[in-house]
A and B are shown apart, each in its own frame.
Chain A
Amino acid sequence: DIVMTQSPLSLPVTPGEPASISCRSSQSLLHGNGYNYLDWYVQKPGQSPQLLIYLSSNRAPGVPDRFSASGSGTDFTLKISKVEAEDVGIYYCMQALQLPLTFGGGTKVEI
């Protein structure tokens, strides 16, 4: 199974300031089609998870442009350019390259 490792576990943030979350996979997520099969999700308090980023760098519909993501192979990063209060929650990366699909342990973003 592909192991996903996120850091940090907890990320205190200040509204208006940037934030960054790292995600590493135990093997490359680069598919032969040139895409990296890495997604980012956020689970806000009391809500179901929601998709933020797919294929390592593509914002899902409706996701604000303060969210961006990059990376390739085994190293990936999610960035929030200016954190807003509504961004609090637990952020997860997930590899979608092969079954079983596996998630990182999560990063709790709190104000």
Chain B
Amino acid sequence: EVRLVQSGGGLVRPGGSLRLSCTASGFTSGNFVMHWVRHTPGRGLMWVSRVSSDGTTTSYADSVRGRFTISRDNAKNTLFLQMDSLRVEDTAVYYCTRENGDVDFDYWGQGSLVTVSS
């Protein structure tokens, strides 16, 4: 069974940092491109970042570029999102998701709530 289990998240002050993790099981994560997507009640879903299957190529939404870093450890089947210089507007539930061959997201993690507030 394919599973993506997330950890991390929590409450942080503006300017602070958090790291999210996403551990895959039931498949060889090193064979798949992985993404982070976030959800806020007011603005819906927003794509955050993408990492290639081997971890060498990364992409970011403009609003997080330079502050967030996506990475992966394929030996541990784990995806990461390092979030620095957090802003109030980064408050959201963050999901890791697996990209299928046609750039669709066929499996999602359970979500990690990140709250940025003073």
Query: Please, which residues of chain B bring their CB within 8 A of the CB of A50?
Result: 108
Q: Is the CB of B95 within 8 A of A48?
A: yes
Q: Is the CB of A49 within 8 A of B104?
A: no
- Partner of B47 from the list A35, A55, A102, A104 (CB cut-off 8 Å) is A102
- In the complex, the chain B residue whose C-beta lies closest to that of A103 is B45
Stretch from A12-20, A75-83, A91-99 contacting the other chain: A91-99
Q: A97 to nearest B CB, angstroms?
A: 8
Q: CA–CA, A92 to B47, complex, Å?
A: 12
1/0 contact string of B26-51 vs chain A (CB within 8 Å): 00000000010101000111110010
Kindly state the interface size class of chain B when it binds its partner: 20 to 34
Which residues of A from 47 to 93 have beta carbons under 8 Å from B?
48-51, 54-55, 60, 90, 92
- Partner of A103 from the list B47, B62, B103 (CB cut-off 8 Å) is B47
Q: Is the CB of A49 within 8 A of B44?
A: no
Q: Is the CB of A103 within 8 A of B102?
A: no
Q: A106 to nearest B CB, angstroms?
A: 4
Q: Is the CB of A96 within 8 A of B95?
A: no
* Given known A-B contacts A94-B45, A99-B50, A51 and B39 have beta carbons under 8 A apart: no
A8 located at the interface, meaning its Cβ lies under 8 Å from any Cβ of chain B in the complex: no
Q: CA–CA, A90 to B100, complex, Å?
A: 22
Which residues of B from 71 to 118 have beta carbons under 8 Å from A?
95, 97, 100, 102-106, 108-111
Q: CA–CA, A104 to B47, complex, Å?
A: 11
Q: CA–CA, A35 to B109, complex, Å?
A: 27
A101 located at the interface, meaning its Cβ lies under 8 Å from any Cβ of chain B in the complex: yes
Q: CA–CA, A37 to B102, complex, Å?
A: 8
Query: Please, which residues of chain A bring their CB within 8 A of the CB of B11?
Result: none
Chain A residues engaging chain B, CB cutoff 8 angstroms: 35, 37, 39, 41, 43, 48-51, 54-55, 60, 90, 92, 94, 96, 99-106
Q: Please provide the 5 A-B residue pairs with the shortest distance between their CB atoms, ordered closest to farther.
A: A96-B103, A54-B104, A48-B108, A101-B47, A103-B45
Chain B residues engaging chain A, CB cutoff 8 angstroms: 35, 37, 39, 43-47, 50, 59, 61-62, 95, 97, 100, 102-106, 108-111
